[in-house]
Structure 1
Amino acid sequence: MEEKKKRPAIPENVKRELWIKSGGRCEFRGCNKYLYKDGVTKQPRNLANIAHIVSWTPTEPRGNQNSEKLATDISNLMLTCSEHNNLIDDPRYVEMYPVELLQQYKREHEERIYRVTGMGQEYGVRIIKMFSKIQGQVSIIGDKAVSEAIMPYYPLESDIIIDLTQVEDVTSAQKQIERAVDLHIKSNSNEESYSVFIMAKIPYACYLGYALGNKVKSVSHQFFRDTQDWKWRDGEFGHFYVSKPKVEKTEDEVNLLVEISGNIDRRLVPNNIMYSIKAENPGFMFIQSKEQLLEFQIKFRELLNEIRDIHGEEVKINLVIAAPNPISFEIGKCIMKNIDPTIILYDKVDNEVSYQNVMCLHSRIRRE
């Protein structure tokens, strides 16, 4: 009886090189599982399989006349989890994973690992995640979606989590946001950059932007419902229009409406002269690109300056917002604490029909 051939041993230096090139992660497209830590206990454990693209024997999946020659060649080896090692060699599915496709998987994965690990510290950003209940629901901000959204940057080791799901009122939320910013950001001597992901009520997003201010390097991101991701999109999208009243005399109090995700019923806000900044086609999907965010920042800041110049520093601005989280965040961030007049934020409260004063977003600092 002919003795069954044993698979040739893969030299240690080849194994080591494969681990380095793969980053210790499964090379099957879409998996990326880390293979040196147990998923449950988090204890160090080697979970890797070394799979052959061309089998080490001609009679096995994708085997051919070069099988023996390629048995220990690193170009023919993939680091995989056991699930995908079994899948690509399963007789029922082997035709779905030809040599060329697996070679492409390996090449894509190793090129990505090489590119990401080649980035310097300037490509590292600290992630801020803030979430609250919205209409009784809490949305999850997933780590994978965040990592994909910030490419080519990479997330630093620990995220800053601001969990507002248990807060009872706006004042409690303000205090919790202030504590997080003081602890994790203002006390940090390093000049870190921050990527901000928010799934929270408008006043909370607005106040986080205000607490961070414009001296902290931060970029906000938008969640897209259609694709369920946070990736800003390229292309030419809609613009913003500013509406101003005809001013016959200076006022002690004015309204400023931000209408991006929808229109605001003027009958439900305080009875003052109206300024507004509005999307050309208001809706939840209006904000698509970082360029739109920049355009909004510029126009909003110009409008604040104009209101102050016309009505004076003592004017009170009643701010009413119908906008997605990145816009609300940028509104807070745009406020200049040493210059701007008092800004009162209005929002819908419980079962109230009209908009209510929910927060003094900014109190005028200068005094005569």
Structure 2
Amino acid sequence: MKIRFECVCAALVLGAALGMAHAGPRKVEIVAEWNRLSFDLGDKAAEKAYDEQQTYKKVLMQGVKADSKDNLYVSTARWGGKEVPATLSKLVRKGTEWKLQPFPSKSMNDVNNPRGLKAVLGFEIDRNDVMWILDQGHVAGAPSGPGDEKLIAWDLRAGKEIARYEFKDSDTDKKCSFLNDVVVDNDAGVVYISDSGIFCDPLKGGLIVYDIRSGQAKRVLSAPEWVNNEEYQFKINGRDVLKPVDGKPNGMKTGADGIALSGDKKTLYWTNLTGNRLLSLPTDLIRDFSKSEDDVKSAVKVVATLPSNTDGMTSDRMGNLYMTALSLNGIMKRDAATGAITTWFSHEDISWPDTLAWGPGGSLYLVSNHLHMWVDGDMDFDNPAVPNFRIYRTSTQAQPYHAK
């Protein structure tokens, strides 16, 4: 499987095709694309078995993040089973191909390692090049074991783990929780986490706050009306999500998902994936662990009703929000000054825009992964009309929210 590398001129042509922002055509570059994901395991026999056994059909790319040197890392939560070679990887170039190299190491990605990574979906790299790794703990949807659901801080510069928090029963439900995404406030020393709660019906979504200095965490919101699925159905390119079962609608149900901080870090935003409300809480309230659930519930605000539901989100230093738009095949932007929400860019080739990530110089990365096709078992790994997995990059001319 070859990955196509786009030259600058091709990126400009694509950008013109994709550009639908109000300011005119937006230049968007395809950084890498795959029909099926390929790993660099340092073991030819293992790599051959991965291909021959078609293990690649069990692997879905979800997240992408960039460090200060513009190295890219991706997550592949083990939703397809323990056979997935790694759940967190660094992209490395081998000849003309990008491959996924287990990160921080093969041993840390060994599903049988009791202290290793089980199923990483959300992660973040802060301004100090510390990677905050959120481990869902669930492999192929099974309940997580002791110590499986955790948050690990990995210092990329020093090459070592500097913090670890294993979620307590008061933080997460080891059957229901679906730890989804994470955002970091280095100034206040706080990590905010969304829990989609998808493994139970009704859902058990929520928000969790981790205090870096004390090494303690607290679940700060579990109110069903704010962190669970809403009465909301959506389509991607005219296709239901998910496929009907026995002729009956089988709509996806996912709670708190995308999460972001305002530029001044005074406000925490989030959305429920099966919903189109942009919600918020003041961060000084939820950082105060003495506040009750009622205190938190009463402070929730519905900031806006969005033109699409969203998966990943982030903000710039000015407080503008960038949100993936699932039904609009792209990214929408909320202007901090006016509150206006516009389609920043969109194209039908972008299918299930999943995660956003800041790169150096104000660049913004986006993963498109056809997640709904993969979940339905309909992904074509040989000759898809559009490559199944793509990483896009564009420029924002802005500083990320966590800029110094």
Please report the TM-score for the alignment, with normalisation by the length of structure 1. 0.24
Please report the TM-score for the alignment, with normalisation by the length of structure 2. 0.22
Q: Comparing both structures, which one devotes a greater share of its residues to helix? A: 1
For the pair shown, the structure with the greater C-alpha radius of gyration is 1
RCO higher in structure (CA 8 A, sep ≥6)? 2
